[in-house]
Amino acid sequence: MMFRGLLILAYFCFSCIFVSAASINPIGISGKRFVDTVTGEPFFIKGVDYQPGGSSEVNSAQDPLSDPDTCARDIILFQELGINTVRIYSVNPELNHDECMTMLGMAGIYLILDVNSPLENQHLNRYEPWTTYNQDYLEHVFQVVEQFSGYNNTLGFFAGNEVINDKRSAQYSPPYVKQLIGDMKTYINQHCDRDIPVGYSAADDLKYRVPLSKYLECTDKDGKITNVDFYGVNSYQWCGKQTLESSGYDKLIEAYSDYSKPVFFSEFGCNRVLPRTFDEVKALFSKDMYDVFSGGLVYEFTQEPNNYGLVDIKEDGSATILEDFNQLKNHYKGLALPTKKDFMSAMSKNEQIEQASMSNLPLCSTKYENINIITKVAKDLAKPLIKKGISIEKGHFVDLDPENLKSKYKFYDNAGGELPSLNSMRIVNNFDSSKGSKDKSRKPKKNETNKISIVDSVWLCFAIVYIVYQFV
């Protein structure tokens, strides 16, 4: 009996050490795949787009990551849904995002962030980009980059979303988007602790599908680094019951099969057939697709006038889970993502492409179909800002109380029944915020009783085992 008790105790204290990781590992890129920079495992995006109220709700007082109470509420639902990534379209870098980013990190969730907003001087005008590509705009972009580079769970930045979406924008904007990507990469290279990837999110228009992706992928002959690190495709072509062929996904696979960088769906989830059953998730994470696509993000978390929501947020801050939420959860939760092992057995053909693309990144052509790349961009506009750096505090993880991880708001199911079991987020990564922060002046709070560091718990574990052993 004693011995069994000992085993149970030992099991219990070891599991409290290993259940949660001590840090959130940055994601990097290797060839055409995202990888966990610590474990080397491939990383697949299983996520949602998240912009409550739309980008126009971003202002001097709020954005999606400025209010810890709404973050706690929504992260509880992210975990219920089973996601590992959110994409946010607009933030205000003058606001503090430490608490929300810490919560996301603790929940094991990464962020892909667009650097633009609808506010003046915070986006490119797609028809007259030269009127908006200026110092004020670049300063905004670099502020966002500088601040969010401080968080390990910042997976990447989108330089633009659907900037090129018709004939006129395709006439003028491509070189500006490419220049901006280069500016961001240069800034990151000189001011950030790690190489955070920069990409572009494209409207999936057949006229630009291949040419624009190729243009943004290619390396300039003058050696300037202006190519994307990853490519996002907004795709709504799988509506209702479909197959790879009937949806046209087979053509998408074909179009991107030789792309040298990670590609994923930066938006998906056609709502022409309701309720959405999200069967495309099965396709997306099948062998047919995961060689080419690194997962995707469902558009979108909150219900807005365009009717793509998974969750309805009421005036009082309570959240009602809609039918689409449960449909998506059926696919996402418990979905086994491909691992290194899957590739070793399944990848031989593409592995060759990967080898080739890593050693031989495509050089830019002089011409691309349907887009014009000859517009001249003022090339050195970003130089002084990059040289000087941006004076804004880098974000960093902070210590949180268990109270912070609970929702102040109520949850309801589709029929109006309360869901009391959803009340607190689950800690996946129980990191000590004082580590991995460059800011030496911040001292770890020694006074906290309800958090146990890894080292403490190892000692505690040995102590318990030792004491119990004495009694056996």
Ligand X SMILES: *[C@@H]1O[C@H](CO)[C@@H](O)[C@H](O)[C@H]1NC(C)=O
By annotation, the residues acting in catalysis are 162, 267
Query: Distance between CA 458 and CA 51 in Å, rounded?
Result: 41
Among 20, 25, 237, 350, binds ligand X (CB under 6 A): 25
Query: Distance between CA 6 and CA 8 in Å, rounded?
Result: 5
Burial of 48 (0-12, 13-18, 19+ CB in 10 A): buried
**With respect to ligand X, which residue has the nearer C-beta, 447 or 450?**
447
Range in contact with ligand X (rule: CB under 6 A) among 157-165, 277-285, 357-365, 430-438: 430-438
Q: How far is the CB of 74 from ligand X (least distance, A)?
A: 21
66 binds ligand X (CB under 6 A): no
Range in contact with ligand X (rule: CB under 6 A) among 20-28, 45-53, 199-207, 405-413: 20-28
Helix, strand, or coil (residue 30): strand
Q: Which two tokens stand for residue 145?
A: 């980059």
**With respect to ligand X, which residue has the nearer C-beta, 253 or 454?**
454
**With respect to ligand X, which residue has the nearer C-beta, 152 or 320?**
152
Query: Distance between CA 182 and CA 308 in Å, rounded?
Result: 33
Among 314, 349, 435, 442, binds ligand X (CB under 6 A): 435
Binding map of ligand X across residues 283-322, x = CB under 6 A, - = no contact = ----------------------------------------
Range in contact with ligand X (rule: CB under 6 A) among 10-18, 21-29, 118-126, 298-306: 21-29
Query: Distance between CA 64 and CA 52 in Å, rounded?
Result: 7
Q: What is the residue whose two structure tokens read 């933030």?
A: 91
Q: Which two tokens stand for residue 338?
A: 């491909």
Query: Distance between CA 115 and CA 93 in Å, rounded?
Result: 10
18-24-27-33 Cα dihedral, nearest 10 degrees: 30
Range in contact with ligand X (rule: CB under 6 A) among 24-32, 172-180, 336-344, 415-423: 24-32
Among 24, 75, 328, 422, binds ligand X (CB under 6 A): 24
Closest to 430 measured CA to CA, from 407, 404, 451, 448: 451
Among 6, 10, 23, 253, binds ligand X (CB under 6 A): 23
Q: How far is the CB of 182 from ligand X (least distance, A)?
A: 26
Among 397, 405, 407, 430, binds ligand X (CB under 6 A): 397
436 binds ligand X (CB under 6 A): yes
Which H/E stretch holds residue 232?
Answer: strand 230-235
41 binds ligand X (CB under 6 A): no
Among 7, 8, 19, 38, binds ligand X (CB under 6 A): 38
Among 366, 447, 450, 470, binds ligand X (CB under 6 A): 447
Residue 18: CB partners within 8 Å, gap ≥ 6? none
Q: What is the residue whose two structure tokens read 């469902």?
A: 298
- The CA-to-CA distance between both ends of the chain, in Å, stands at 9
Contact present, 86 and 385 (Cβ < 8 Å):
no
**With respect to ligand X, which residue has the nearer C-beta, 25 or 457?**
25
Residues forming the site for ligand X (CB under 6 A) = 23-26, 38, 152, 397, 431, 435-436, 447
